[in-house]
Amino acid sequence: MNKIIKGDKVIVITGKDKGKQGQVVRVLGDKVIVEGVNIVKRHQKPNPMRGIEGGIITKEMPLAISNVAIFNPQTQKADRVGIKLIEGEGKVKRVRVFKSNGAEVPAPSKGE
């Protein structure tokens, strides 16, 4: 089970965007793309076959997963994530919890 997953609200803890918050759009192995963070401008070559226009575009680039921390809404601070095992109905369920207060990390909504 990954400690940071798509849909989590995270805060950047180091780098040029330190302190910015956003939602994880995608997880790429040991990197994450966070909405509204690490914005860069790139020159796009036109491709008429795909319907892509040329020009200068702005896009979000990946950040190292070690440079972001999950945001704890109760303490209003960055937090670490731990895994807790909960037994029930003959099965063991793994749940993500905040290290600071032991509260369960809310699951990201499926609609986003």
Is 25 contained in some domain? yes
Residue among 22, 24, 27, 2 at smallest CA distance from 11: 22
- What pLDDT digit, counting tens, does each position of 22-52 carry? 999 999 999 999 999 999 999 999 999 999 9
In a domain, 24, yes or no: yes
pLDDT reading at 112 higher than 60: no
Residue 108 lies in a domain: no
* Residue 22 belongs to domain with CATH number: 2.30.30.30
Kindly state whether residue 106 falls inside one of the protein's structural domains.
no
Other C-beta atoms within 10 Å of 54: how many? 11
Q: Which domain holds residue 26?
A: 9-44+57-98
The arrangement of strands across the sheet holding 21-28 comes to 63-64, 31-34, 21-28, 9-12, 68-72, 77-79
Reduced to 3 states (helix: H, G, I; strand: E, B; else coil), residue 84 is: strand
What backbone phi and psi angles, to 5 degrees, belong to 27? -115, 125
What digits encode the pLDDT tens for the residues 56-74? 999 999 999 999 999 999 9
Q: What is the pLDDT of residue 111?
A: 57
Report percent pLDDT > 90 for the chain: 77
- Judge contact between 98 and 80, C-beta under 8 A: yes
